[in-house]
Amino acid sequence: MWTQEIQCRGDESQIHLCQKSPSHKNTCSYESDVGLMCADIMRVRLVGGLSRCAGRVEVLHRGQWGTVCDLFWDMTDAAVVCRELDCGEPVDAVGGAHFGPGSGPIWTDRKFCSGSESTLKNCGTINWGFYDCDHTKDAGVICSGKLLQTLTYFYVTDKPPTIKI
């Protein structure tokens, strides 16, 4: 158990660079544990498709682009990616390196999205950087594309419109 008081200013690159002082109150217990969740900047892109809204799912994590394994990859996960990229609704969640194999790390082999998350990084995950997968199993997604606004016409006359072919 860490019994030091840590006072970070916010511009430190690592926690051990924060100012520390010994705690004079050594009344810590496991019931008062404090957790830390870092806001890792993670972006998503689709690579290898015919549009920006279809392709192999790649994630920027810790400054490096990597892929997601298709193990447990489904339409719920695809919905989150489509939403994050402003690409409409999911049409298909594909696996087996449908859009070609990626290179670099395979960042995760399991994503547990409920479908309501705004970004893939907000989905529960297991095994960031530890996987039982290879690039022949890279996940992909096909989204509908940005939805166009539907125009509704109202006719003021009592006659139906004439359509000429």
Show me where the domains of the chain are located: 43-143
Averaged pLDDT for residues 100-113: 82
Q: Could you read off the pLDDT of 5-38 as tens digits, one per residue?
A: 777 877 776 777 888 876 666 566 666 666 665 5
Q: Is the pLDDT of residue 163 over 70?
A: no
DSSP letters along the chain, please? ---EEEE--S--SSGGGSEEEE-S-----GGG----------EEEEEESSSTTEEEEEEEETTEEEEEB-TT--HHHHHHHHHHTT--SEEEEE-TTTT----S-EEESEEE--S--SSGGGSEEE-TT--S--GGGB-EEEE--SPPPPP-----SSSPPP---
Tell me the fold of 43-143: Mac-2 Binding Protein (3.10.250)
Token pair listed for 100: 């070609």
Residues 73-84 have pLDDT tens digits of: 999 999 999 999
Of the listed ranges 52-61, 77-86, 131-140, 150-159, the least confidently predicted one is 150-159
| Residue 152 reports pLDDT greater than 50 | no
The confidence score (pLDDT) of residue 121 equals: 80
**Global model pTM greater than 0.85:** no
